[in-house]
Structure 1
Amino acid sequence: MLRTRFALALLPLALAGCGKSKTAVVAAPPPAPVAVVERPMPRPPMGAAANLTLPIAGPDGAFATPNRNLSAIAAQWHLRAALNVAVLQCVRAGDPMEAQYNGFLATHKKAMTRAHDGLKAEYRTRFGAEWQDRFDDDMTRLYNFYAQPPARAAFCAAAQPLIAAAAATPAGALDEFAATALQSLDVPFTDFYRAYADYRADLAAWQTDRTQPAPGQIAPVQIAAVQPVPLTRAPVLTVARDLLMADTGVTGGD
């Protein structure tokens, strides 16, 4: 009987001890410092100078070129200028492109004369007494446009097949060919302009923050400041001494 009473007295204590769950809050260690190095300064693309002035981009994001909004006769004359610069810059004496260019001039001699005279007439109409100066200035800018060194390699690659195609174009079909060819010949330069604009953006970012993690370093990851950690050891059962000794009969027999 006494043993039963003793067991019943200990049962609430055991249940109370097992029902409690404790957690500990442990502060996360501070992240280790990350070694940083200075990022390389961005460089202009294609060996260009660091202070170039780009053409203004239109609402569509495309850069303006001298070949925008041309009449048919202006397109023909601009094509002649482009192919002339290509032969001067891209070929050596005796190269097939040289013979093809001369073939183009021979096949389209009359068309080139009409284009030149017609373009001058357009300038007279637009600029009056100042037409000759404006014409000369614009032709200078046109030749300089095609002679830009950073885009030379891509320009030569684009011009090579077009010179052969121009020489093979029938005399009466130059209008359509010139418009399409000028679009292709613009691409090396507009590609360069976009690359240069990207360089400027990279340079501005570099000037704002020149550092980056050193090789082999990983940027720190944000973690919580504290984390609850459940205790894994079993709860400890304790019994009050006065309760255990309240009945001296527990040490005796039945």
Structure 2
Amino acid sequence: MNPGTEKRVGQQDLRHRLSLLAGSAVAVTLAALAGCAKPPPPPAPPPPVVVIPPKPTPPMGAPDEMTIPPVSNDGTRHTVNYGISTSQAVWNLRSGYNVAALNCVEAEYTPILEGYKRFLKVYDKSLDRASRDIDASFRTQHAGRAATVARETYQTQVYNFFSLPPVDSGFCKAAMELSAELQTVDPSQFEAYSYKGLAKLEAPFKEFFDAYEQYRADLAAWQSRYGSSNGLITVRPTAEQTMAQPKGYAQ
């Protein structure tokens, strides 16, 4: 091979080697850059699934809105039986017992009517005395016909109090207990007993009022958390709700 040819071959071989070195450097650089690149961010999590509990409902089938007697600072509920005289307690007991005798008509409550009839006979003197005292009391506060109207108005409130439909069941049971208890109350002790008997008849109503206040608190908490969701909360039934759904229910 002549010197010129040998020179050209050497130059071509050098260029080939330089090309290989350049390619290797590029590959190394790309690999290094690939190793330094940050991975793509993870996908956003799905919105939280919140199960909305059932909206609280009034106890014992009561209406959504009703007025109940307030509770004073000492925890005493101011019903129509609050702060009354002994004579008024005797008469209010008679009124409540009368409502029970008229409203608790199921066969299981037969002793109430029989007990009320006995009540009127055994304690007639105390009842008459209480009625006279109440008339006198209203006459000290009102003149003429106004005294009678005031007493009748108050008496209507008492009857309405003991006629509250949601409490019928508990009231009739309390009247049954009263009927049995009165069998042991001597007429001479009846006036003193009247507060206890009245409290027995009133107890289921106070329990209802407490339950209704709790319903109001539960409803306010529910509305505060879920009432303004405006459809932004995804609702999913709980396992118990799913099991309770009838066949063919479309979720």
TM-score normalised by the chain length of structure 2: 0.69
Aligned-partner SS, 2:142: helix
Task: Kindly indicate which of the two structures has a greater share of residues assigned to strand.
Answer: 1
Superposed CA deviations along residues 203-223 of structure 1, whole A, max 9, x for unmatched, are 112222216974569xxxxxx
Instruction: State yes or no: 1:162 paired with 2:178.
Output: yes
Equivalent position of 2:121 in the other structure: 106
Conserved? CA contact 1:103–1:167, under 8 Å = no
Conserved? CA contact 2:171–2:204, under 8 Å = yes
Query: C-alpha separation between the residues in 1 aligned to 2:200 and 2:110?
Result: 22
Q: Which runs of 5+ in 2 are unaligned?
A: 1-40, 227-232, 240-251
Equivalent residue for 2:224, pick from 208, 221, 242: 208
Query: C-alpha separation between the residues in 2 aligned to 1:205 and 1:138?
Result: 36
Compute the displacement of 1:29 (Å): 10
Task: Kindly indicate which of the two structures has a greater share of residues assigned to helix.
Answer: 2
Equivalent position of 1:56 in the other structure: 70
Are the structure 2 counterparts of residues 38 and 119 from structure 1 closer, same or farther at C-alpha, using a change threshold of 3 Å?
A: same
Identical residues among aligned pairs (%): 36
Query: C-alpha separation between the residues in 1 aligned to 2:238 and 2:106?
Result: 50
Compute the displacement of 1:141 (Å): 0.5
Instruction: State yes or no: 1:124 paired with 2:100.
Output: no
Compute the displacement of 1:128 (Å): 3.1
Aligned-partner SS, 2:81: coil
Aligned-partner SS, 1:67: coil
- Counting only pairs closer than 5 Å after superposition, residues 145-224 of structure 1 correspond to structure 2 as 145-210=161-226, 214=236
Query: C-alpha separation between the residues in 2 aligned to 1:56 and 1:157?
Result: 25
Q: Which runs of 5+ in 1 are unaligned?
A: 1-26, 218-254
Equivalent residue for 2:95, pick from 81, 85, 99: 81
Query: C-alpha separation between the residues in 2 aligned to 1:197 and 1:78?
Result: 25
Residue type at the aligned position of 2:199: Q
Compute the displacement of 1:148 (Å): 0.4
The two structures, once aligned, show a CA RMSD in angstroms of 2.5
Q: How many pairs are equivalent?
A: 191
Residue type at the aligned position of 1:73: S
